[in-house]
Amino acid sequence: MARTIKTVQVPSFPNCKNRDLGKTFLITEWDALTADRWIQRVAYAVVNTGGTLPLDLKNAGWEGIAIMGINSLLRGNMDPNIMIPLAEELLNCVQIIPDPKFPEQSLRRADLDGDIEEIATRWWLRNEVVSVHTGFSPADALSALISSIMTPRTTD
């Protein structure tokens, strides 16, 4: 079976200049070795923050690792010297399509310093990368979690 490939177009973000609005990117799923090693490094980083891993890590998959990462992030004890490079690696499977009318001719690796002009785009692209690998959106999961925490509970 072929790796998942997804073409995405940058949406409008609130409270942002939207300099990347409409830019088109191609995200290609990592090979199993690259994904496995990335997940292992995230798992070790989570453990080093005092987080816990499920007893059956092999069944946790990307979604489980993402949830563990979110939990560690919310605890506020992630080591930025470890996590920032891991987050940057997610963008390695992103290519830009500067001219969507001729995608095959214009497709190239995204210049992360020049092609992406908004912080919001970088975060959105990382979320899209994880989604390509899992079908799971960490941003949606975090948003749902925050929403459930902020929703007042009624008592009967």
Hey, which residues does 24 pair with through a beta bridge?
Answer: 9, 97
Q: Using an 8 Å Cβ cutoff, are 10 and 22 in contact?
A: yes
| Chain center to CA of 112 | 15
68 Rama sector, left if φ>0, alpha if ψ -120 to 50, beta otherwise: alpha
pLDDT value, residue 92: 93
Q: Looking at the domain assignment, is residue 96 inside a domain?
A: yes
Q: Looking at the domain assignment, is residue 154 inside a domain?
A: no
Q: Looking at the domain assignment, is residue 111 inside a domain?
A: yes
What are 117-141's pLDDT values in tens digits? 999 999 999 989 988 887 766 555 5
Q: Looking at the domain assignment, is residue 156 inside a domain?
A: no
| Residue 104 to residue 107: CA distance in whole angstroms | 6
What are 72-87's pLDDT values in tens digits? 666 666 778 888 898 8
pLDDT value, residue 6: 94
If one counts the domains in the chain, the total is 1
Q: How far apart are the first and last CA of the chain?
A: 52
Q: Looking at the domain assignment, is residue 141 inside a domain?
A: yes
Q: Looking at the domain assignment, is residue 155 inside a domain?
A: no
Q: Looking at the domain assignment, is residue 121 inside a domain?
A: yes
Task: For residue 149, give Cα distances in angstroms to 21, 146, 152.
Answer: 31, 5, 8
Range of the domain at 38: 5-149
pLDDT value, residue 111: 84
Q: What is the DSSP letter of 19?
A: T
pTM passes above 0.85: no
Q: Looking at the domain assignment, is residue 94 inside a domain?
A: yes
